[in-house]
Amino acid sequence: ELLENLQAPVYIERVSVSDIKHIRKAKTAVKKALEIQRDGKGYAFVEVLSPCPTNLRQDAEAAEKFINEEMEKEFPLRKFRDNSKEVEPLHRGESDFSKKSLDRIFKLDQDSTPDPVDDPNFKEKFIKIAGFGGQGVLSLGLTLAQAACAEQRHVSWYPTYGPEQRGGTSSCVVVVSGEMIGSPAVKKNEVLIAFNKPSVDEFGPDIVEGGTIIYDSASGDYDAPEGVKTIPVPAMKIAKSMGVKRAANTVMLGVLMYLGYTELSRESFKEAVAHTFAGKPQLVDINLQILEAGAKWAKENIN
Residue 214, beta-bridge partner list: 193, 231
209 lies in the same domain as 125: yes
Residue at 100 is within a domain: no
How far is 286 from 33, CA to CA, in rounded Å? 54
Number of folded domains in the chain? 2
140 lies in the same domain as 216: yes
From 58, 82, 106, give the residue that closes a domain: 82
247 lies in the same domain as 133: yes
- 172-212 tens-digit pLDDT: 999 999 999 988 888 788 999 999 999 999 999 999 999 99
Q: If you ran DSSP here, which 8-state letter would residue 92 be given?
A: P
From 22, 55, 82, give the residue that closes a domain: 82
Domain of 237, CATH number, reads 3.40.920.10
Residue at 136 is within a domain: yes
Residue at 241 is within a domain: yes
Domain that holds residue 58: 9-82
63 lies in the same domain as 161: no
> Which amino acid makes up residue 242?
M
The sign of the torsion formed by the CA atoms of 185, 187, 191, 197 equals positive
Residues of the chain with pLDDT under 50: 164-165
175 lies in the same domain as 71: no
126 lies in the same domain as 77: no
What lies within 8 Å, CB to CB, of 85 at 6+ separation is none
pTM: 0.65
CA 67 to chain CA mean position, Å: 39
From 82, 109, 139, give the residue that closes a domain: 82
Residue at 192 is within a domain: yes
217 lies in the same domain as 281: yes
